[in-house]
Amino acid sequence: MALKIVKGSIDRMFDKNLQDLVRGIRNHKDDEAKYISTCIDEIKQELKQDNIAVKANAVCKLTYLQMLGYDVSWAAFNIVEVMSSSKFTYKRIGYLAASQCFHEGTDVIMLTTNQIRKDLSSPNQYDTGVALTGLSCFVTPDLARDLANDIMTLMSHTKPYIRKKAVLIMYKVFLKYPESLRPAFPRLKEKLEDPDPGVQSAAVNVICELARRNPKNYLSLAPLFFKLMTSSTNNWVLIKIIKLFGALTPLEPRLGKKLIEPLTNLIHSTSAMSLLYECVNTVIAVLISLSSGMPNHSASIQLCVQKLRILIEDSDQNLKYLGLLAMSKILKTHPKSVQSHKDLILQCLDDKDESIRLRALDLLYGMVSKKNLMEIVKKLMLHVDKAEGTTYRDELLTKIIDICSQSNFQYITNFEWYISILVELTRLEGTRHGHLIASQMLDVAIRVKAIRGFAVAQMATLLDNAHLLTGNTQRNGICEVLYAAAWICGEFSEHLEDPMQTLEAMLRPKVATLPGHIQAVYVQNAAKLFATVLRKHDGETESQAAQETSQLLIDRLPLFVQSANLEVQERASCILQLVKYIQKLQQKNVEVAEEVTALFAGELNPVAPKAQKKVPIPEGLDLDAWINEPPSESESEDEKPKAVFAKEEPKHSRSRHTEVDEKELARRREVRKQEQANNPFYIKASPSSQKVYDAPGVEHIPVVQIDLSVPLKVPGMPMSDQYLKLEVERRQKEKAERKKKEKKKKREKRGKERKADSGPESEEDITPAHQVDIVTEEMPENALPSDDDDKDPNDPHKALDIDLDKYVPYCRHLQFIHVLHIVYDIQGNHQDESKVVVSVIFENKSDSFLKSMEFNVLDSLNSKLQRPEGAGAHDSLTVPFQLPPGQDTHAFLFVSSVSVSIVAVCIDCFLMQSDESSTHEKLDFKLHFTCTSYLITTPCYSDAYAKLLESGDLKGSSLRLEGINMPFHHLLARICFHHHFSVVERIDSCASMYSRSIQGHHVCLLVKTTVSIDAKCDEPSLLGNVLDEIKQTFSKC
Amino acid sequence: MIKFLLMVNKQGQTRLSKYYEQVELGKRAALEADVVRGCLARRKEECSFVEYKDYKLVYRQYAALFIVVGITENENELSIYELVHNFVEVLDKYFSRVIMFNLDKVHIILDEMILNGHIVETNKNRILAPLLALDKMAES
């Protein structure tokens, strides 16, 4: 046996440590996976050893492997073992592994509760620290519930090292167990004024994070933060505080006004760029939240814009990027101040860094006006031509469209220009945004009636030149445009000059190579064009032209009837039969034009996206009621509900599908080629034809860059640049005319005041070139008023939206009308179990200063105030601060006490009315010490618990709670939290709980889901009181 | 808030990862690969901030080592940029040899500096105090 142990420990000497593992992995680059799997086998062996040092080493290696992406959840229990080692060197390895590997779903976490609680209260600050750090990574709702009280106590630990960690962990606890926020908040608030700057900073961090989600609950802290901001010198803390103010000001504009000055001072004085940036950001946020009627803040905006300009001009790319980012925030409210830096922003479009270029693009979006839109878009079009990568070019394209279409085409004065821009964009090769351009074309043509004639002409040219767009069928993103072109030409065919020619273009055999959904539109709209042609020739007897058209369709449509695409096939065969029938009628000289046109009568109007949702439900219709009896369970299992309507955006799914197919096809083609090359019986294609299809070698062909100073021009297409020139001329002319008119008026008004020159053009002066009628989107009749249901119901922060100024239900409140409001809370003292700590918050409700307050406590038999050494038994305790009106502050009293009691307290205080006069007030009140205050959450293992119950020392009692309808785990959580119990074991419908008084009395509870509580305790009076208090807690809810 | 911190070598291999918000193990590899590709591909003259999904990435290069921090929209980019430098300075002060073999110690340093996704400590001596205490414990 002894030999075995010796042998074992010698073996262990040759175990790999982490260093060996890392080195080993590096040396096995070729067979890394194999090497690691042998390592994992070794680790599994090591974990079977009893030696904790070996286990810790193994766990340490596992942590590294986990980081490399290997699943180590199988070792969770071993990790817990190492965590519970008494030696810190091992313990920390266990905690590190747990913090890296554990998550809410890890079931062994349940086993750790008591261990963590033990570590949290360890006398060694590093034990506590490591437990807190670990907890921050893997805290679960259960852990949060069970440990909230312990962590809260640590917030007042003597060592700042522990305090700051405990404060930060509380944020995670709040998220997991929101009920803890209210009781913890006074203490958290108090930490804002902690003497240690680290703790202060931690508290600021937590409150910032809380306030960001639910700012209104933290407004009352503003004065305190204001004080911190003006006194703190730590930039990291300042940044956080300033950020917090940014979140608060939208709710309280007065705060914003107060902030501007110190913030601008900081902007002027600080040398830290991060702080400067934060200040600028917050000033912007503040100015956004202030109403526009604050003319004297234009100076602050100017200052911000100036500072940002310096950032943007800096050679440091990081500053440039952030400058542009902040600038975009100013843009939203003060576009004018940014617009004057247009030159600088346009310069950034040429930057080497794509992120900077994208930021500059974002800015342009907001800088456009009716006046400069054409000019900016022209610049962007130049960049489109120059852009290297397709991603950036695509980004430019979407931005151009965004800029032009924003707020219902607000800035477009000339839609002919816009259409020609869209047409020019179709010449971009390989763009992914074909359908974006297409949808713009459709949108404009449908909604701007005046433009239809022009649009139709343009689209007809596009259709005619379709071969230019589809030249490269591999990357056919752009051919989506043809979808729009065909539809527009068909729908508004009355505007076409030569419908016959367009019809011919739409029925070319080449069309059959387009994607199916586009062909379908082609076929359908060919029918519309057919109707138009017939109507045109209506009345002419024996019209040659009309009959030729029918023949054209009859000749060309069979190609589409053979299409593999069902939609195309169906439509084509339908229309073919129709045309054949019409031809027969034509041959009999029957007038058909009117009837054919009737097929496509009526106008299609755009429908608002929300329209369907807004249709009011007719009275008496219950949408939730079953029409038929619900099917039985078994049926519903095999039959999944099918979508009744086709999914939206079929284009997307289709293109993705073809993408996959293309890859697959390429692979198959390669395989096939291989096969063919090896097959002597396969007749290979002649080399000349191979050139066309063969891909290999294409990359090696040197590509000559052709520098075209004149962009390629498609015949018959207008250039957008011309519109720019025309527009400028037109505006000048208008301006001149306006001036003339004004002069006339002036002449008439001579003698009266002289008007100043109209100066630079204002937005309103620019009239659109066309009378634009933008058709608004249709809404159903009786549409319901707008509702915004954007809030995410799953946001964990929703639960933390707690009004913290409302009185805490489980702290006691005392109110002395008009003078003082006191809140107090009593907790057992972990460090010294013969004492309880009473924390008291005073709030001065009066208008005057409260000075020299004194506590007079009448000691009773069972409780005694802990006075400073040397003080007499009746001496009073001076409160070490003064209270300005409207503020609150905390104080602590240490009271030694042994059982439930009431302590009579009296406060003497002076109310300072003014500098001279003051009044003296005496306020008597009583502090109720509930027996729960003497209970300390103590872990208990189930075997110890069973022994305790068996011992027979405990007396029993029971309690039934009436009218409780909360989930069982909430009920348990409440008992844990308010009465300092911990759950020992939970079995289905009941749970056993344990707690201990500071004098060592055991209290055991058995709580059942029927909401009855059986309790046992070795001190009957304590038991009765605890049960009474539990009853009280639940009667309140 | 800081969401994660990665230390990556020039080949794109993760040397250290720390997540302050739970990310599934399976998704980590993809996330890390994406993040690393986004940052490593950038040239020296490009800025150190990259937008990636819901995150902002702040990265810095030290010789062959990249440190990438994923942060939320509301975090101050420049302060994180400074934090990374501070972190590297602390590493520099403590380690004389290759840090790769002492990853657990790097974790200790990191845990002292960032907790719960927030900066807790930036003072070098205070950051190193627990580690030095641990070394003393190991010696005795």
Which of the pair, A516 or A780, is modelled with greater confidence? A516
Structure tokens at A1021: 């009076």
A35 touches chain B (CB under 8 A): no
A66 within some domain: yes
Question: Does B79 contact A274 at a Cβ distance shorter than 8 Å?
Answer: yes
Helix (H, G, I), strand (E, B) or coil at A814: strand
Whether residue A818 is found in the same domain as residue A922: yes
The residues, ordered by sequence, that sit 6+ positions from A708 with a Cβ below 8 Å of its Cβ are none
pTM: 0.64
The residues, ordered by sequence, that sit 6+ positions from A162 with a Cβ below 8 Å of its Cβ are A125, A128, A129, A132, A154
pLDDT tens, A429-439?
777 788 889 99
Exposure class string for A949-965: b at 16+ Cβ within 10 A, else e? beeeebeeeebebeeee
Of A472-486, A730-744, A940-954, the range with the lowest mean pLDDT is A730-744
The domain of B112 spans 2-139
Which residue from A862, A900, A889, A893 is spatially nearest to A877, judged by alpha carbons?
A: A893
Q: Is the pLDDT of residue A856 over 90?
A: no
A791 within some domain: no
Query: Which one of B29, B49, B78 has the shortest CB-CB distance to A355?
Result: B49
Which of the pair, B81 or A467, is modelled with greater confidence? B81
Which of the pair, A453 or A891, is modelled with greater confidence? A453
In this prediction, what percent of chain A has a pLDDT beyond 70?
71
Question: Does B103 contact A103 at a Cβ distance shorter than 8 Å?
Answer: no
Do A138 and A172 contact (CB within 8 A), yes or no? no
* Average pLDDT of the residues in B99-124: 86
Helix (H, G, I), strand (E, B) or coil at A1003: strand
pLDDT of residue A907: 56
Structure ipTM: 0.93
Last residue of a domain, one of A904, A929, A954: A929
Which of the pair, A821 or A444, is modelled with greater confidence? A444
Q: Is the pLDDT of residue A660 over 70?
A: no
Residues A211, A205: Cα–Cα separation, whole Å: 10
Structure tokens at A89: 């060197």
Q: How far is CA A726 from CA A470, A533, A711, A730, in A?
A: 32, 35, 20, 6
Whether residue A925 is found in the same domain as residue A941: no
| A96 interaction partners in chain B (CB closer than 8 Å) | 104, 107-108
Q: Is the pLDDT of residue A817 over 60?
A: no
Whether residue A820 is found in the same domain as residue A925: yes
| B108 interaction partners in chain A (CB closer than 8 Å) | 92, 96
Helix (H, G, I), strand (E, B) or coil at B33: helix
Q: Is the pLDDT of residue A482 over 80?
A: yes
A76 within some domain: yes
pLDDT of residue A526: 92
Question: Per-residue confidence at A522, pLDDT binned at 50, 70, 90?
Answer: very high
Whether residue A964 is found in the same domain as residue A898: no
Whether residue A947 is found in the same domain as residue A1020: yes
Most B CBs within 10 A among A321, A352, A356, hence the mutation to make, goes to A321
Q: Which of residues 81-110 of A touch B (CB under 8 A)?
A: 88-89, 92-93, 96, 100, 103-104
Q: In chain B, whose CA is at the least distance from the CA of A244?
A: B74
The one-letter amino acid code at A451 reads I
- C-alpha angle A263-A247-A290 in degrees, rounded to nearest 5: 65
Question: Does A63 contact B104 at a Cβ distance shorter than 8 Å?
Answer: yes
Residue B3 CB neighbours (<10 A) = 18
Mode of pairing for the β-strands spanning A1002-1008 and A877-878: unpaired
| Count of domains for chain B | 1
Query: Which one of A165, A205, A321 has the shortest CB-CB distance to B47?
Result: A321
DSSP alpha helix (H) spans, A232-348 = 235-248, 253-269, 273-289, 298-313, 317-333, 335-339, 342-348
A968 within some domain: yes
A672 to chain B nearest CA, in Å? Answer: 33
Q: Is the pLDDT of residue A644 over 70?
A: no
* Average pLDDT of the residues in A430-455: 87
A965 within some domain: yes
Q: How far is CA A62 from CA A68, A96, A500, A573, in A?
A: 10, 11, 76, 67
Question: Per-residue confidence at A292, pLDDT binned at 50, 70, 90?
Answer: low
* Average pLDDT of the residues in A881-886: 66
Average pLDDT, chain A: 77
Identify the sign of the CA torsion A56, A58, A59, A61: positive
| CATH number for the domain that contains residue A946 | 3.30.310.10
Which residue from A256, A302, A307 is spatially nearest to A282, judged by alpha carbons?
A: A256
Q: Which of residues 207-246 of A touch B (CB under 8 A)?
A: 209, 212, 235-236, 239, 243
Q: Is the pLDDT of residue A309 over 50?
A: yes
Question: Does A198 contact B126 at a Cβ distance shorter than 8 Å?
Answer: yes
Structure tokens at A374: 């054409």
Q: What would the 3-class secondary structure string for A457-506 be? A: HHHHHHHHCHHHHCCCHHHHHHHHHHHHHHHHHHHCHHHCCCHHHHHHHH
* Average pLDDT of the residues in A18-39: 87
pLDDT of residue A10: 53
* Average pLDDT of the residues in A501-508: 90
Question: Does A355 contact B46 at a Cβ distance shorter than 8 Å?
Answer: yes
Element (H, E) at B16: strand B14-19
| B104 interaction partners in chain A (CB closer than 8 Å) | 18, 60, 63, 93, 96
* Average pLDDT of the residues in A66-72: 87
A1017 within some domain: yes
| A137 interaction partners in chain B (CB closer than 8 Å) | 20
| Count of domains for chain A | 3
Whether residue A899 is found in the same domain as residue A961: no
A205 within some domain: no
Whether residue A876 is found in the same domain as residue A924: yes
Query: Which one of B46, B78, B103 has the shortest CB-CB distance to A353?
Result: B46
pLDDT tens, B49-64?
988 888 899 999 988 8
pLDDT of residue A188: 92
The domain of A961 spans 937-1035
Question: Does A317 contact B130 at a Cβ distance shorter than 8 Å?
Answer: no
Q: Is the pLDDT of residue A915 over 60?
A: no
| CATH number for the domain that contains residue B19 | 3.30.450.60
Question: Per-residue confidence at A783, pLDDT binned at 50, 70, 90?
Answer: low
Whether residue A880 is found in the same domain as residue A956: no
B22 to chain A nearest CA, in Å? Answer: 7
Question: Does B104 contact A93 at a Cβ distance shorter than 8 Å?
Answer: yes
Which of the pair, A805 or A653, is modelled with greater confidence? A805
Last residue of a domain, one of A929, A948, A970: A929
Query: Which one of B22, B49, B74 has the shortest CB-CB distance to A318?
Result: B49
Residue A843 CB neighbours (<10 A) = 14
pLDDT tens, B3-31?
999 999 888 888 889 999 888 888 888 88
The residue whose two tokens read 């387009």 is A514
| B27 interaction partners in chain A (CB closer than 8 Å) | none
Do B65 and B8 contact (CB within 8 A), yes or no? yes
* Average pLDDT of the residues in A784-788: 50
pLDDT of residue A76: 92
Residues A927, A929: Cα–Cα separation, whole Å: 6
DSSP alpha helix (H) spans, A177-252 = 181-191, 197-213, 222-231, 235-248
A948 within some domain: yes
Last residue of a domain, one of A42, A70, A101: A101
pLDDT tens, A945-995?
888 888 877 788 888 877 777 778 778 888 887 788 888 887 778 888 888
Most A CBs within 10 A among B115, B122, B136, hence the mutation to make, goes to B115
Query: Which one of B16, B43, B119 has the shortest CB-CB distance to A67?
Result: B16
A978 to chain B nearest CA, in Å? Answer: 26
Of A369-378, A531-540, A719-728, the range with the lowest mean pLDDT is A719-728
* Average pLDDT of the residues in A851-862: 67
Of A124-128, A281-285, A705-709, the range with the lowest mean pLDDT is A705-709
* Average pLDDT of the residues in A629-637: 60
* Average pLDDT of the residues in A91-118: 89
Whether residue A923 is found in the same domain as residue A980: no
Q: A631 burial class (0-12, 13-18, 19+ CB within 10 angstroms)?
A: exposed
